[in-house]
Amino acid sequence: LRAMKKRYPNDELFLCMGTDMLLSFDSWYHPKEICSLCQVVMAHRTDIDEAALADFSQTFRKRYGKTPIFLPNDFLELSSTTVRRLLILGGAADDLSPKVYEAILAQGLYGTCRNRKNLPFEDLKRESLALHNEGRVKHVIGCSETAEALAKIYGANPVDAARAGILHDVTKALSGLEQLHLCKTYGIIVDDFLKTHTKLLHAPTAAVVAQRVFGENEAVCSAIRWHTSGRANMSTLEKIIYVADYMEPNRDFPGVKELRKLAYSDLDAALLLGLEMTQEHLAQQGAPMGKASLEAIAYLKTGKDAT
């Protein structure tokens, strides 16, 4: 800014930034000098509270002697954190300028040059958890550890179980729109049910990311794919990830203790109980249950696919 002000002494300079950057402005290097050299502009997201903006503006003026300009916009709402996630997950191309995207890949910025395939478990765990929101980390670790324990009981591969558990929600932090973008990138077919229930899309997107980005085997990817809905004739590992996700130690809801106890003695019974609990919850909300889940329930009860 000093150099630009020296070069353009008669021009008014504007420093445009996003919401998160301006809210942390107090921690910047010489914020008062920055305000003396330019006009600060915040291009804010549409979900920000107007009253909060007014309060912030008043505080900012008292502290720095200038009122920031607030610039509402209809740009794509995409935080830098989400962009960094999408770069690793393989879905950032549609959200960045082609030249910017090419430059990031060419220079290997934001970890895009790192080979994440077939990582040792601790490295995989670190990479996966970095892609989650902080509030989900304990659940993901709990799911992985529970899945590994169940695999040892029921004769599945405990290594695959731990890896599937640590990756099962790897795209969960993305919004519904970002999930749809990722589906488009990877050629995932989205039916009408999933288009209107985008919270379920993290299962198919996480499965593809597990395969394409992390190089996981088919058994791991399939377990991730069906961990939200289940399906008819599930493999033992698929059942384990569904159940572990449902009842890992951090889960706390009516009926979870019964499900948790059952999981260590009868995997199929625990799976059916989880599916039926979900079915009851959806019915109370007046929401439909997906076809795959209905087929899973029918298969567990009759040993046959639903017709």
Total count of domains within the chain: 2
SS3 of 152, please? helix
Q: Given 46, 70, 94, which residue is the final one in a domain? A: 70
Asked if the structure places residue 98 within a domain, the reply is: no
Spatial neighbors of 93 by CB under 8 A, at least 6 apart, are: 101, 185
Spell out the alpha helix ranges (H) of 156-266.
158-167, 176-186, 192-196, 202-212, 218-225, 236-247, 256-263
Asked if the structure places residue 37 within a domain, the reply is: yes
Asked if 60 and 131 sit in the same domain, the reply is no
Q: List the end-to-end C-alpha distance of the chain, in Å, as a whole number.
A: 69
pLDDT for residue 46: 64
Asked if 177 and 266 sit in the same domain, the reply is yes
SS3 of 200, please? helix
Asked if the structure places residue 85 within a domain, the reply is: no
Neighbours of 199 (CB within 10 A): 11
Rounded Cα gap, residues 159 and 119, in angstroms: 12
Asked if 158 and 278 sit in the same domain, the reply is yes
CA 70 to each of CA 36, 105, 294: distance values in angstroms, whole numbers, following the listed order = 18, 33, 50
Asked if 180 and 252 sit in the same domain, the reply is yes
Asked if the structure places residue 176 within a domain, the reply is: yes
Asked if 150 and 264 sit in the same domain, the reply is yes
Instruction: Scan for tokens 């020296």, then name that residue.
Output: 6
Asked if the structure places residue 90 within a domain, the reply is: no
Q: What is the DSSP letter of 288?
A: P
Asked if 225 and 291 sit in the same domain, the reply is yes
Asked if the structure places residue 221 within a domain, the reply is: yes
Q: Which long-range contacts (CB under 8 A, 24 or more apart) does 78-85 make?
A: 79/18, 79/20, 80/18, 80/20, 82/173, 82/174, 82/175, 82/178, 84/110, 84/111, 85/131, 85/173, 85/174
82 touches 73 (CB < 8 A): no
Asked if 124 and 254 sit in the same domain, the reply is yes
Q: Given 45, 70, 95, which residue is the final one in a domain? A: 70
- Chunked mean pLDDT (size 10), the chain, 307 residues: 95 89 89 95 74 87 92 70 90 86 92 94 98 96 99 98 99 92 92 91 98 98 98 98 98 95 98 97 94 97 67
Q: Which domain holds residue 9?
A: 2-70
pTM (2 d.p.): 0.79
Asked if 60 and 201 sit in the same domain, the reply is no
Distance of alpha carbon 253 from the chain centroid: 22
Asked if the structure places residue 49 within a domain, the reply is: yes
Asked if 63 and 122 sit in the same domain, the reply is no
Question: Which residues make beta-bridge pairs with 39?
Answer: 14
Please give the angle made by the CA atoms of 291, 289 and 306, to the nearest 5 degrees: 35
The DSSP string of 21-68 is HHHTGGGSSSHHHHHHHSEEEE---TTS-HHHHHHHHHHHHHHHSSPP
pLDDT for residue 306: 47
Asked if 242 and 159 sit in the same domain, the reply is yes
Question: Which residues make beta-bridge pairs with 15?
Answer: 40
Question: For position 214, which CATH number holds?
Answer: 1.10.3210.10
Q: Given 70, 99, 127, which residue is the final one in a domain? A: 70
Asked if the structure places residue 183 within a domain, the reply is: yes
Q: In the numeric block, which tokens belong to residue 138?
A: 């304990």
The DSSP string of 64-80 is HSSPPEE----S----H
256 residue type, one letter: V
Q: In the numeric block, which tokens belong to residue 105?
A: 């890949």
